[in-house]
Amino acid sequence: MPPTAIRSSSKPTGLECRMAVLGADVRLTPHRREVYDVLAGSTDHPTAYDILDRVKSRSPGISLATVYNCLDHLTSAGLIKQVHLARGQSRYCANLHEHIHFHCEVCGKVIDAHPAADFDPAAFWNLPKGARITRTDLAIHGVCESCASK
């Protein structure tokens, strides 16, 4: 699903902003906006700590708890995706295009890969009868070219 255009509210008085995404109206506080902006400007699937570091340059006082809060809000609003690749920290991405994650097990890099053609994974598997699908996560683990050539 292509990402919906993100717009501010027609009434951005004070700090109040909103985003209209996928029909949902999401309150966008300054912190949430910064967390979202950091993520939208990153292609490396940062962790919560990474995001804290990057947001701190603009909002020195922000706490890790707030970053987690913002990430939870943005995730449940459907603005970002949470990615579980391995044990340990979750990673996040703001790419809402249909895509999968290639995870290099050597350097840890995570690279988005986009489908060559329209493809519905659910259709290819015999899912349990009557199941309703909310989300699919495909991660391919391996070694990227630059690590393989070393």
Partner DNA sequence: ACTGAGGTTAGAATCATTCCAATTCTAATT
Partner DNA sequence: AATTAGAATTGGAATGATTCTAACCTCAGT
Identity of the residue, 72 or 120, whose beta carbon is nearer to DNA in the bound complex? 72
Is residue 138 at the binding interface for its own copies, with CB under 8 A as the rule? Answer: yes
Identity of the residue, 40 or 100, whose beta carbon is nearer to its own copies in the bound complex? 100
Query: Which of 8, 15, 76, 127 is in the footprint of DNA by CB under 7 A?
Result: 15
Q: Please say whether the beta carbons of 130 and 88 come within 8 A.
A: no
- To its own copies, the closest distance from the beta carbon of 8 in angstroms equals 31
Place of tokens 């995706």: 81
Identity of the residue, 23 or 130, whose beta carbon is nearer to its own copies in the bound complex? 130
Q: Closest Cα to residue 77, out of 110, 36, 131, 17?
A: 36
Question: In a 3-state reduction of DSSP, which class is residue 66?
Answer: helix
From the list 86-94, 99-107, 121-129, 130-138, the region that binds DNA by CB under 7 A is: 86-94
Q: 87, exposed or middle or buried, with CB in 10 Å at 0-12, 13-18, 19+?
A: exposed
Cβ atoms within 10 A of the Cβ of 11, count? 9
Q: Please say whether the beta carbons of 32 and 89 come within 8 A.
A: no
Place of tokens 């004070």: 14
Q: Which residues pair with 24 in a beta bridge?
A: 21
Residues 63-92 vs its own copies: string with x where CB under 8 A? ---------------------xxxx--x--
CA 111 to chain centre: 13
Is residue 57 at the binding interface for DNA, with CB under 7 A as the rule? Answer: no
Is residue 134 at the binding interface for its own copies, with CB under 8 A as the rule? Answer: yes
Q: Which stretches of the chain bind DNA, using CB under 7 A? A: 13-16, 27, 29-32, 47-49, 59, 61-66, 68-70, 72-73, 87-90
Q: Which stretches of the chain bind its own copies, using CB under 8 A? A: 84-87, 90, 99-100, 102, 104-105, 111, 113-117, 119, 121-145, 148-149
